[in-house]
Amino acid sequence: MSEKEKNQEENPMEGFLRMDRIPHIWCSGCGIGTVVTSFVEALKKSELDLDKVAVVSGIGCTGRVAGYIKLDSFHTTHGRAIPFATGLKLANPELKVVVFSGDGDLTGIGGNHFIHAARRNMDLVVICVNNFNYAMTGGQVASTTPQGANASTAPYGNFEFSFSLPNLAEAAGATYVARWTALHLRRVTKSIQEALGKKGFSFIEVITPCVTLYARRNRLGDGLNLLKYYHDNSEIKHGADTRTLDIDYQGKLTVGKFVDKEKPTFLDAMNEHLGKVLGDDYQLYGRLNND
């Protein structure tokens, strides 16, 4: 094939991206683009009707994902992607709603909404890209920054304790919990695929390199160095007890699928209960009446 012919062939990702906004704003070596590709692969494999898939993001580097994916996408306020997605899903239960946002957005400012949506087992797929800091605003300390790491608002090192996100998700009631790194390309795809095919609150944490901020402030090198750290230190332990999944600074990363159980979703519980109590009077959005 000639060079010219080669360059006119379209990258298979392009059908899923708003090409008028590519190249994207993420840094060289940032793993978010990789997670987006893994996500799109999962979408392709899941055979969902893509017109019915909606992506909701918050604010931050990962929050920009909504702007690049060519589905019904929403770029909402900081920390509020999950309640927004809740409203969207409840207003139109046919939609498959994916929340794609960062660790600071979802579990820092958005922590309250995170635990309640998990408690309610809202039918949402939450993909949390964890780069251990608030990257967009310059690398401040976050609820996930490991103890001892440097951040712009912890210039002497972080002395706070950090979340173990799978533990938080499971404790709050999530029915699917997995953790991978951006390097685990196809395992991330498989987890997202499983979550898309499942009802209930699914939480997938993807640990991702942040070169310009987290890595630079901690002198960890560039994207390749971080990927090497993931390669050398991640250990797959499916079904591990989520209480053992803490991340120490540059320590072991336990990855895998930790929780995969069935439980009625909020809508299931609501429909069943109100149907029982109100009988025929209860018809969600009048579907049975051809509204």
| Footprint on residues 205-234 left by another protein (CB under 8 A) | 222-224, 227, 231, 234
Among candidate residues 96, 99, 97, 102, the one with its CA nearest the CA of residue 32: 102
Question: Which sign does the torsion angle of CA 17, 22, 24, 28 carry?
Answer: positive
Region from 47-55, 147-155, 196-204, 240-248 binding another protein, contact rule CB under 8 A: 47-55
In the bound state with another protein, the residue whose beta carbon lies nearer, of 222 and 268, is 222
Among candidate residues 103, 154, 130, the one with its CA nearest the CA of residue 210: 130
Which residue is it, tokens 């790194």? 181
Within residues 1-40, the interface with another protein by CB under 8 A covers 1, 6-7, 9, 11-14, 17-18, 20-24, 26-34, 37-38
Among candidate residues 178, 244, 234, 167, the one with its CA nearest the CA of residue 205: 178
Return the CA Rg of the chain. Answer: 20
What are the angstrom distances between the C-alpha of 261 and each of 40, 90, 169, 170, 255?
24, 22, 13, 11, 18
- For another protein, what does the binding mask look like between residues 167 and 206, x meaning CB under 8 A? ----------------xxxxx-x-----------------
Residue 269, both tokens: 């519980």
In the bound state with another protein, the residue whose beta carbon lies nearer, of 159 and 281, is 281
- Least distance (Å) from another protein to the CB of residue 175? 19
Cα 106 to Cα 61: distance, rounded to the nearest angstrom: 12
- Least distance (Å) from another protein to the CB of residue 11? 5
In the bound state with another protein, the residue whose beta carbon lies nearer, of 11 and 160, is 11
Residue 187, both tokens: 């395992």
Within residues 100-139, the interface with another protein by CB under 8 A covers 112-113, 116
- Least distance (Å) from another protein to the CB of residue 112? 6
Helix (H) or strand (E) holding 34: helix 32-46
Region from 88-96, 144-152, 154-162, 240-248 binding another protein, contact rule CB under 8 A: 88-96
- Least distance (Å) from another protein to the CB of residue 6? 5
Single residue of 47, 92, 238, 244 touching another protein by CB under 8 A: 92
In the bound state with another protein, the residue whose beta carbon lies nearer, of 61 and 142, is 61
